[in-house]
């Protein structure tokens, strides 16, 4: 009687676990951007490691074990005690976002997306130069994002390490490189007590929303200063992505090659400007 129960339980386990998508179209590498070995390191090995760690952190936790990486990173962005789970979920999601917007060939930007981008950046060439320059200037690893606001405008946004661009996770957006950012340090017990008091308040769930503003409004669920944006494209500046193929000194060349391998159909779909299927992300 025991064996049938085990056999029936296994399929449920397999459906729940976070698994590595094969991305079969890149198995031979991404021409002009990543060799087969480069892709293996940046995707198969690194993404596999992130998901392995994430599974270990969520096993036995009920719904977390089957939640998408996006849902997990938003859920735990406000909880310092769950930083490890947030970091692995967010990094797995960001890395998949990066690879999901790549193509093995040069693609043509849909006209509707081009018009919107030109309205925000004056020209596509200006956007390209700003994107590459911003990513090249990042001292630490992270991502540079192209985001679309609720008003239909476009902007660039940076996140360091495993920071997230999503409004619900702006508590952990991590827009500054702490290797170069000076911050005051205090040992005042009163300040420490106030910090933990504010953290306790911030972590209290909001059961209902009232009005457009104030502590019980829908906006209170977002981080202070959080901007409601939709990420549609990103590039990774993590060293394990570009160094195996491009070395230490050719980060800018990697970024310029990346621009030529963007799948603009996927980007347009994410922006709501086309009928394509858009990025499909890790569970």
Per-residue pLDDT of 17-30, as tens digits, reads 789 998 999 999 99
- C-alpha distances (whole Å) from 99 to each of 42, 51, 269 are 9, 15, 15
What's the pLDDT tens digit per position in 71-91? 999 999 988 899 999 999 999
Spatial separation of the C-alpha atoms in residues 129 and 121, rounded to whole Å: 10
- Pick the closest to residue 38 from 236, 282, 265 (CA basis): 236
User: For the segment 83-139, what is each residue's pLDDT rounded down to a tens digit?
Assistant: 999 999 999 999 999 999 999 999 999 999 999 999 999 999 999 999 999 999 999
**Strand pairing report for 154-160 and 229-236:** unpaired
Domains of the chain from N-terminus onward:
34-180+223-283 (3.55.40.20)
Rounded-to-integer distance, Cα 114 and Cα 146, Å = 13
Q: Are 200 and 234 in contact (CB under 8 A)?
A: no
Burial tier of 104 (Cβ tally within 10 Å: 0-12, 13-18, 19+) = middle
For the whole model, what pTM was predicted? Answer: 0.77
- Residue 241 sits at the vertex; the CA angle it makes with 238 and 246, to the nearest 5 degrees, is 110
By the 8 A CB rule, do 107 and 65 touch?
no
pLDDT tens digits in sequence order for the chain, 283 residues long: 444 433 333 333 344 478 999 899 999 999 999 999 999 999 999 999 999 999 999 988 777 888 899 999 999 998 889 999 999 999 999 999 999 999 999 999 999 999 999 999 999 999 999 999 999 999 999 999 999 999 999 999 999 999 999 988 865 445 544 444 544 444 454 555 555 555 555 554 444 444 444 444 444 455 555 568 999 999 999 999 999 999 999 999 999 999 999 999 999 999 997 655 456 555 5
Q: Exposed, middle or buried, 4 (CB in 10 Å: 0-12/13-18/19+)?
A: exposed
């Amino acid at each position: 009687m025991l064996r049938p129960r085990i056999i029936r339980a296994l399929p449920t386990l397999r459906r729940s676990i976070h698994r590595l998508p094969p991305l079969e179209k890149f198995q031979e590498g991404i021409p002009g951007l990543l060799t087969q070995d480069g892709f293996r390191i940046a995707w198969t090995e690194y993404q596999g490691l992130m998901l392995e760690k994430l599974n270990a952190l969520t096993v036995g936790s009920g719904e977390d074990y089957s939640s998408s990486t996006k849902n997990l990173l938003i859920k735990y962005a406000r909880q310092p005690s769950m930083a490890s789970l947030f970091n692995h979920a967010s990094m797995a999601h960001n890395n998949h976002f990066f690879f999901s917007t790549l193509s093995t060939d040069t693609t043509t930007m849909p006209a509707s997306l081009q018009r919107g981008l030109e309205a925000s950046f004056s020209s596509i060439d200006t956007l390209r130069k700003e994107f590459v320059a911003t990513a090249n200037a990042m001292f630490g690893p992270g991502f540079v994002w192209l985001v679309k606001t609720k008003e239909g405008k476009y902007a660039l946004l940076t996140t360091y390490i495993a920071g997230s661009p999503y409004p619900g996770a702006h508590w952990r957006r991590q827009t500054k490189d702490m290797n170069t950012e000076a911050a005051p340090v205090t040992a005042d017990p009163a300040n420490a007590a106030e910090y933990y008091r504010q953290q306790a308040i911030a972590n209290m769930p909001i059961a209902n929303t009232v009005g457009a503003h104030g502590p019980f409004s829908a906006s209170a669920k977002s981080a202070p200063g959080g901007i409601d944006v939709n990420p549609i494209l990103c590039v990774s500046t993590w060293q394990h992505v570009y160094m195996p193929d491009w070395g230490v000194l050719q980060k800018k060349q990697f970024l310029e090659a990346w621009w030529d391998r963007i799948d603009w159909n996927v980007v347009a779909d994410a922006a709501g400007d086309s009928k394509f299927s858009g990025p499909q992300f890790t569970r």
